[in-house]
Amino acid sequence: MGFELVRSLRKTKTDGTPYTRPDEIEARIEQLEKLLISEQVRQCEIKAEHETDFVPPECVVYLMRNRRDFDRDDDTAKALYKILFRRVLGQLPWTEQEGCPKQLATAVAVREQVAGRFAEMMAKDREEYLDQLDLFEAVFAHSVARLRATARTKAFKHANRQTPLEAIQAGGEMSRPEEMQLEISDSTIFEELHEKDYRRRYLNAIVQLPDDLRTVIELYREGLHFESSDPKEPTISKIVNKSPKTARKYCKQAIAILRGMLLEEDQ
């Protein structure tokens, strides 16, 4: 009959070819399409990934986007929308676990901003197909990470207008000269990143650094060298387009600032 069982994505790469969903997502959507809506919702309500019939969030986005024609009394549409939002919120900083007021404020702001942006995108999509949402049907966690990255930076800018870092950014001078004596090899700030609470604090601290410092410290954390005799080796110096000496200086500054911020919160 010429029907397409699963709606194709419309978002295209720069070469004009459309993005596609992973095979396993495509296959799960095909299964869901054969079910009545009430059963689709029942399966989407399953929270644990290991449970039979668990529906990946990519598929929940697909189903909700297909439900464009409903009214406010439609229980299945409302249930599906709530399930989808729970999946989004589940990938955001969890406010109940934040002890420090500053961390709590950032977590609340990130949740509100990401939720607001996602709601805006979904509403626009209901009005007229929004192809940016296609990526949520392919790589949900990464797509939410994009919204989260933007929200985290904005949240800090709104919450912390006046900090010592502003002076650093403006003048390029360290406020704690003694910390400048740190060796770059002092990378203890990365050692606790496996720990969830520390990781959250690190993420909120690093977004407060100026762009160059932030990029250099992250490349350093990834294990890149500042310079290399091998012209083909990607180095921190080449990527940030600064001399190795300047890149090292940025790295020292970044470590010093981050240590200061993380220590301050520990106290």
Partner 1 sequence: MNSDQSNMDLEDVLNAFIMEEDTGKPTLLRYLIDYPQFASDLVDLSREMTLGTEQSSGPLSKTDEAIVAAAWERHVAVVPGGSLDPLGSLLPAQLNQLSAAFSLPRQVFSALRERRVIVASISESFLRSLSEKTGCPFDRLIASLNEPAQPTVAGSHKSEVKPDAPRKVTFEKILTDAEIGPDQLAELVRGE
Q: How many other C-beta atoms are found inside a 10 Å radius of the C-beta of residue 233?
A: 11
Report the nearest approach of partner 1 to the CB of residue 235 (Å): 10
How many angstroms separate the Cα of 73 from the Cα of each of 39, 45, 79, 82?
Answer: 18, 19, 11, 14
Report the nearest approach of partner 1 to the CB of residue 41 (Å): 9
Contact present, 255 and 182 (Cβ < 8 Å): yes
Report the nearest approach of partner 1 to the CB of residue 178 (Å): 28
Report the nearest approach of partner 1 to the CB of residue 74 (Å): 6
**Closer residue to partner 1 in complex, CB, 33/227:** 33
Report the nearest approach of partner 1 to the CB of residue 136 (Å): 10
Q: How many other C-beta atoms are found inside a 10 Å radius of the C-beta of residue 159?
A: 14
| Three-state SS letters, 61-105 | HHHHHHCCCCCCCCHHHHHHHHHHHHHHHCCCCCHHHCCCHHHHH
Contact present, 247 and 240 (Cβ < 8 Å): yes
Comparing CA positions, the residue from 107, 118, 251, 100 lying closest to residue 180 is 251
Contact present, 205 and 239 (Cβ < 8 Å): no
**Closer residue to partner 1 in complex, CB, 71/178:** 71
Backbone angles phi, psi at 12, to 5 degrees: -110, 155
**Closer residue to partner 1 in complex, CB, 177/231:** 231
**Closer residue to partner 1 in complex, CB, 236/256:** 236
**Closer residue to partner 1 in complex, CB, 177/224:** 224
Query: In angstroms, rounded to a whole number, what is the distance separating the alpha carbons of residues 110 and 116?
Result: 10
**Closer residue to partner 1 in complex, CB, 52/181:** 52
Report the nearest approach of partner 1 to the CB of residue 167 (Å): 21
